[in-house]
Amino acid sequence: MPKKVITDHSTGERKCRCFKRCGGCQLSESYSEQLARKQEKAARMLSGFGKVEDIVPMEVPYNYRCKVQTVFATDSSKRIISGVYQSNARKMVAVDDCMLEAEVASPIVQTIKVLMKDMRIRPYDLRTGEGLLRHTLIRTSFSTGQVMVVLVTASPMLPAKNNFVKALVKAHPEITTIVHNICPNGMPLTLGERSVVLYGKGYIEDELCGCRFRISPASFYQVNPIQTEKLYSFAVEAAGIRKGVKVIDAYCGTGTIGIICAKNGAEVTGVELNKYACRDAKVNAELNGLDNISFFNDDAGKFMQAMASRGDSFDVLVMDPPRAGASREFIGCAVKLAPEKIVYVSCSIETLERDLRIFKKEGYRATFIQPVDMFPHTMGIENVVCLEKFEKPADKAPEKVTVQEKQVFLKPRGRSVRKPVKNGTRRRK
């Protein structure tokens, strides 16, 4: 099969032949043109709140995805092929190499296809419900070099699994752990509740901003760790983190930003609704030897509402909500608690703009807006915004209205205006 990625060796720019069919990339122009496009969009949408800094680019905007999910199928010749689901669809596009995915992933996938054929492991068919292997998940740490392979199957049975694991590790000694995940009724590219470690520890570790993080199969972790380090550094600096500062890390996930704040001396409370992510966050705090951070498995808005009712306070709110942004209830709780600073990390500039409008009305202004190109070749723009509390202008007292003025009505469409008459009387026509 011919390579899908072609490289212009004079410029170093890469192009993908699957651009229109796959949908994983949304931009095909040169990287400098992509940055200009994103800078213009960020300025257009956010400059009304404050100065928008220059977007932070990637030095090498390729092979940055440390999380790679691959699906399998058979072609008309009964040959096993691999690829990705079309964006927003369940139709598979055959891809053997991708310019966004970590380079270590593609050779491992090729070996898995050979082993599937040798051991008669059939790809799962979404239409018929037949077959076994749903997809694979490969997670890589660029800092430690550790590699995790997750085999996601429709049933607990994995034929010749010991031989499969032995052959895969022999071909790729860089693999540090292999996990078998069982997902009998899941949607495409999801993980099931049950996992069995076949090789290694069942997790990998990554280093970020001087901290170490454990990544299990279901952990939420930014897919571009190179840019994430820059993003989080901006967030911690904007928050003015120092010893003794009290921080709430809302939507904390596996605790990354909160742990970095705690490492810099802050007293941190993390809140996360996903119980698995919260569990990972506690493990990560222990991994870094921190006793100045605690995590709670709860809805962030409800947790903060309870804080407000108790009269609790803190200095900085760090929030990294999902793409849908923060809820009105959450913003209301945040404003009621009135932290001096709010650091908003956003992966959706559209919902960020919406939420900033609300915060502005509630007495917060943006003092720092930093776009970061986390997802080259896509339309995505990650942003760090620092909001600081300021005094809202006092509401003007309502002006007194005279009797004559009360008699003035707005002119209805297509009807005459009743005019006030001196002494409260109206002359007959």
Domain boundary among 357, 373, 389: 389
Q: Residue 11 domain-assigned?
A: no
| 272 plus 376 within the same structural domain | yes
Residues 6+ apart with CB under 8 A from 103: 63
Is 272 marked as a binding-site residue? Answer: yes
Same domain, 317 and 377: yes
Q: What is the pLDDT along the chain (429 residues), one digit of tens a residue?
A: 445 565 654 566 777 777 677 777 888 899 999 999 999 999 999 999 999 999 999 999 999 999 999 999 999 888 999 998 876 667 788 888 889 999 999 999 999 999 999 999 999 998 888 999 999 999 999 999 999 999 999 999 999 999 999 999 999 999 999 999 999 987 888 999 999 999 999 999 999 999 999 999 988 889 999 999 999 999 999 999 999 999 999 999 899 999 999 999 999 999 999 888 899 999 999 999 999 999 999 999 899 889 988 888 899 999 999 889 998 889 999 999 999 999 999 999 999 999 999 999 999 999 999 999 999 999 999 999 999 998 654 444 444 444 443 443 333 444 344 444 444 444 433
156 to each of 182, 279, 368, how far by Cα in Å? 6, 25, 51
pLDDT value of residue 5: 60
- Is residue 237 in a domain? yes
Same domain, 191 and 137: yes
Confirm whether 2 is domain-assigned.
no
**233 and 204 in a common domain:** no
pLDDT value of position 276: 86
Instruction: Please check whether residues 50 and 69 belong to one and the same domain.
Output: no
Q: Tell me which amino acid residue 230 is.
A: K
Q: What is the CATH number of the domain that holds 310?
A: 3.40.50.150
State the pLDDT at residue 126: 86
Beta partners for residue 140, in sequence order: 147
Establish if 419 belongs to a structural domain.
no
Return the C-alpha torsion angle 16, 17, 19, 22, nearest 10. -110
**Are 245 and 166 in a shared domain?**
no
How far apart CA 135 and CA 66 sit, in angstroms, is 16
Contact 316, 388 (CB under 8 A): no
Q: Which residue range(s) make up the domain with 254?
A: 32-59+228-389
- Split into its structural domains, the chain has a count of 2
Is 251 part of any known ligand binding site? Answer: yes
For residues 63 and 81, what is the distance between their CA atoms, to the nearest angstrom? 21
Residue 132 placed within a domain: yes
Residues ≥6 apart with Cβ < 8 Å to 120? 159
Q: In angstroms, what CA-CA distances link 374 with 60, 384, 404?
A: 12, 12, 62
The phi, psi pair for 64, rounded to 5°, reads -95, -15
- The DSSP bridge partners found for residue 260 are none
Alpha-carbon distance of 216 to 148, in angstroms, equals 9
DSSP 88-120: TSS-EEE-S--SSB-TTHHHHHHHHHHHHHHTT
| Residue 36: both structure tokens together | 């200009």
Task: Say how far apart CA 255 and CA 111 lie, in whole Å.
Answer: 34
- pTM higher than the cut 0.95: no
Kindly write down the DSSP assignment for every residue of 137-158, as one continuous string. EEEE-TTT--EEEEEEESSS--
Tokens of 357: 């409008």
CATH of the domain at 194: 2.40.50.1070
Q: Are residues 319 and 255 in the same domain?
A: yes
In terms of domains, do 179 and 240 share one?
no
Q: Residue 367 falls within a domain, yes or no?
A: yes
> 54 and 97: one domain?
no
Same structural domain for residues 106 and 143?
Answer: yes
- The pLDDT score that the predictor gives to residue 424 is 42
Is the residue at 201 inside a domain? yes
Q: Which of 208, 237, 268 is the last residue of a domain?
A: 208
150 in the same domain as 36:
no
CA distances for 215 relative to 13, 147, 228, angstroms: 32, 10, 15
| Residues identified as active-site | 347
**Tokens 């079309």 map to which residue?**
86
The answer to whether residues 189 and 309 belong to one domain is: no
